[in-house]
Structure 1
Amino acid sequence: MDLKALAEKFNPYQIEMRRYFHAHPEPSTKEVETAKKIREELTRAGIEWRPCGKNLTTGTLATIHGGKPGKTFLLRGDIDGLSVKEKTGLPFASQNDGFMHACGHDCHISMLLTAVMIANSIRDEIPGTIKFIFQPAEEVALGALDMMADGVLDGVDGMFGMHVWSELPAGQVSLEAGGRMAATDQFEITITGKSGHAALPHKCVDATPCMAATIMDLQTVVSRQVNPVSPLVLTVGKVTSGTRWNVISGSAKIEGTVRSLDSESRDMAEESVKRIAANTAASYRCTAEVKYDRLCDNVYNDPEITAFGREAAKTILGPDALPNTPPTMGGEDFGFYCSKVKAAFALFGVGNAACNACYPQHSDHYTVDESTLVKGALLSVQTALNFLNANK
């Protein structure tokens, strides 16, 4: 595989696709035009594909059968945008007002499409099969499970995915074995007391101090209940209580998230949130109802797949492209795949202040150094080839 020639050949296509998808973001589960464009590109290139999803209609699975027999490797990119009003001022800024590819999924689509085209151009050299999934609804943690329910992992021997990452300089990749991204849970605590006149607190059961006490008690989950060497984040992000300045609140709600890297801490946190909510409420003569949802599993990088990816990164980006980076407590529904098949997930650096790519993910000014994206496409293909060649 002549990497330099392939980069030169497919870089214009990569940039064209990235800019098209950046200008046309769509919300999770409703990526209709996005899926249509992806399928048009696959059909134009003569690539085999099918819709993939049990309930969602916007997932796509493409397949390239190599010229030689072998195992099957799966590459994944997500396709949904965010409800963010773009303020980048780019000439290819979002044309869908109120929506933006502020997490870089436009890059994921274009890199995966480019990877398809690269693999198709060398299909006779491929010892096995490479599959490609364009996954919807990552931002709401629905897409992976929906595609899995439609058999996307059937016959798959290994898997690789990437996320562009603004905190890493362009040309660097974070790819290490073990737990790399956190399991993501969401909780809602509804506290019920008894409302009444602010001048008659003795005839009411005030939900507001109960809410405040519950928030403070929840802080002990991390500081006093979890093993201090096991990363855990518990964040209360939204609180609501009361309707008027002279009315004692009869109800309150606490909403938040828990992030963890291991199952023991995750189980402990869920039990603790429920126990603290109930016991604190009781001490304030209130009741508490807890809704606790496990949104997505943690991303665990299989050592074997990680090794193939690291070798690919050295080939594509050079020997100094792999800095040692700690795990992130951000979540990714790629974790569901990791629980079923050997997989690895990389963070692909796109930061570069020279082209204003210095804003964090989800910022309304978010952008990337698009000149490096074609190397991301090559990295995916090279990882697949490394796996297939080693498992003939």
Structure 2
Amino acid sequence: MTTTDLTTWMTGLRHQIHSYPELALHEVKTTALIKKTLTDLGVRVLPYPGATGVVAEIGHGEPTVALRADIDGLPVLEKSALPFASTVKGHMHACGHDFHTAALLGGARLLKAHEAELNGTVRLIFQPGEEGYVGAKLMIKNGVLNGVQAIAGFHNQPDIPVGTLALKTGPMMASNDNFDVTIKGHGSHAAMPEASHDPIVTLGELITALQTIRSRNIAPDAPLVLTLAAVQAGTTFNVIPDSAEFKGTIRTFSAANRQLAKERFYDIVEGVTKMNGQTTEIKWDRGPSCVNNDETLTDVLAKALADTVTIVPAHPCNADDDFALYQERVPGFYGFLGSGGTGVLHQSNYSCNDAGLIYGAKFHLMAAKAMLAAVSAGVLNPVDQAV
């Protein structure tokens, strides 16, 4: 099997997946395609209780290491004009999970061809539901990390050239906390505001006051983003409503700052609403912690991949990824692999270059071999699983 043949094969798979994107935890056809492809390759597909997602293994015996790719699309209307563009209106692989899936299938094909050389078992995790960070939690609950001693994966980046892998030790992608707040006041005629407890005024105060969490509580050199992304209040010009709502997110790379931001958020929201004679309901959605690369494993993989890809330093990214949940339990590595496309992740004009798929497949082959060797040599330290 030549590099050209493998690239052509992976490209066909990616285009097929791209043309029929499925949203988080609804990846039924994608799951079926992955299972069929692995079965045709002679790869062991393991029983998995989830409705979507696939777990498979190549090799035998201990140790066991894992490779992960996410498989879900996004509720985005595609505007790429590609010949294999989404056929599902309003759904799109705008984050390149089709790239990730095809590359891990390519890695499976390489690993199967080299199975006799593997000193242990490689577990392949095709994860549903990364968007919304429910998939990793579900797969871990269903036992996909049982016996696993190290894990690796990557996210494509269209602004990084094909053949390049950006990496760093420590925090790589941000933690994610989302908030949904309802301010409960008392409405009135807009011409008689004295008869109201106006939640819109409170909303305006909070939009400004919450930014002091970043500017007056967090050190200037410590990354933290607090964004109010959605606000809703009222229905017409002459009625002050009874309530107002806002939603948003907080991203950071520090567990201490993450906790501080939450505490200050509650202090400010509850304090301002009380001052204005109102009450509030806060729904707090705690997402993944930051993607945090194991120092030893990162060094091991950087050396193992040096002849396969161009290694460059990675810039931390404020986006989140539930790969972090695996890293809370076993030593893990996550890199940014150049896909040389257009747009940015989650944009309707996002695209990636199929030429990058071969580097993704080789990443999985080399990472699996290197992790097996590192675990066998005892150079990786276990992660404290008290999370």
Asked if Structure 1 and Structure 2 have the same fold, meaning a TM-score greater than 0.5 normalized by the shorter chain, the answer is yes
Residues 1:360 and 2:349 are matched in the alignment: no
Q: For residue 70 of structure 1, report the CA deviation from its aligned partner.
A: 4.0
> C-alpha distance in 2, partners of 1:236/1:110?
35
Of 309, 313, 317, the match for 1:328:
317
Residues 306-315 or 92-101, more deviating: 306-315
Of 47, 53, 67, the match for 1:59:
53
Q: For residue 208 of structure 1, report the CA deviation from its aligned partner.
A: 0.5
> C-alpha distance in 1, partners of 2:299/2:51?
34
Q: Which residue does the alignment assign to 1:215?
A: 207
Q: Specify every segment of 5 or more residues in structure 2 that has no aligned partner in the other structure, as ranges.
A: 377-387
Q: Quick one: which amino acid aligns to residue 83 of structure 2?
A: P
Q: Quick one: which amino acid aligns to residue 371 of structure 1?
A: A
Residues 1:85 and 2:69 are matched in the alignment: no
> C-alpha distance in 2, partners of 1:164/1:258?
23
Q: For residue 369 of structure 1, report the CA deviation from its aligned partner.
A: 1.2
Q: Specify every segment of 5 or more residues in structure 1 that has no aligned partner in the other structure, as ranges.
A: 352-356
Q: Which residue does the alignment assign to 1:338?
A: 327
Q: Quick one: which amino acid aligns to residue 209 of structure 2?
A: D
Q: Which residue does the alignment assign to 1:147?
A: 139
> C-alpha distance in 1, partners of 2:312/2:374?
25
> C-alpha distance in 1, partners of 2:348/2:175?
26
Q: Contact 1:160 / 1:305 at 8 angstroms: preserved in 2?
A: no
> C-alpha distance in 2, partners of 1:127/1:21?
32
- Identity percentage of aligned residues: 35
> C-alpha distance in 1, partners of 2:104/2:14?
10
Q: Quick one: which amino acid aligns to residue 365 of structure 1?
A: N
Q: Which residue does the alignment assign to 1:383?
A: 367
Q: Which residue does the alignment assign to 1:373?
A: 357
After superposition, the C-alpha distances for 1:268-312 in whole angstroms (9 at most, x for unaligned) are 111111111000111211112111111212100001221122123
Residues 1:189 and 2:178 are matched in the alignment: no
Q: Which residue does the alignment assign to 1:354?
A: none
Q: For residue 230 of structure 1, report the CA deviation from its aligned partner.
A: 2.2
Q: Contact 1:185 / 1:295 at 8 angstroms: preserved in 2?
A: yes
Residues 1:31 and 2:20 are matched in the alignment: no
TM-score (norm 2): 0.94
Residues 1:76 and 2:68 are matched in the alignment: yes
> C-alpha distance in 2, partners of 1:312/1:31?
33
> C-alpha distance in 2, partners of 1:251/1:343?
45
Q: Which residue does the alignment assign to 2:229?
A: 237
Q: Which residue does the alignment assign to 1:129?
A: 121
Q: Contact 1:281 / 1:288 at 8 angstroms: preserved in 2?
A: yes
> C-alpha distance in 2, partners of 1:30/1:223?
41
Residues 1:11 and 2:3 are matched in the alignment: no
Q: Which residue does the alignment assign to 2:249?
A: 257
> C-alpha distance in 2, partners of 1:199/1:87?
45
Q: For residue 202 of structure 1, report the CA deviation from its aligned partner.
A: 1.1
Q: Contact 1:81 / 1:105 at 8 angstroms: preserved in 2?
A: yes
> C-alpha distance in 2, partners of 1:331/1:70?
32
> C-alpha distance in 1, partners of 2:89/2:233?
32
Q: Quick one: which amino acid aligns to residue 328 of structure 2?
A: S
After superposition, the C-alpha distances for 1:121-143 in whole angstroms (9 at most, x for unaligned) are 01001111111000000001110
Of 128, 151, 155, the match for 1:163:
155
> C-alpha distance in 1, partners of 2:43/2:163?
29
Number of residue pairs aligned between Structure 1 and Structure 2: 376
Q: For residue 9 of structure 1, report the CA deviation from its aligned partner.
A: 4.0
Q: Quick one: which amino acid aligns to residue 316 of structure 2?
A: P
> C-alpha distance in 1, partners of 2:128/2:47?
11
Query: SS of the counterpart of 2:318?
Result: strand
Over the residues paired in the alignment, what is the CA RMSD in angstroms? 1.3
After superposition, the C-alpha distances for 1:222-260 in whole angstroms (9 at most, x for unaligned) are 011123332111000011111210111221011000001
After superposition, the C-alpha distances for 1:359-378 in whole angstroms (9 at most, x for unaligned) are 11111111111112111110
> C-alpha distance in 2, partners of 1:90/1:31?
22
Q: For residue 97 of structure 1, report the CA deviation from its aligned partner.
A: 1.9
Query: SS of the counterpart of 1:382?
Result: helix
Q: Contact 2:291 / 2:327 at 8 angstroms: preserved in 1?
A: yes
TM-score (norm 1): 0.93
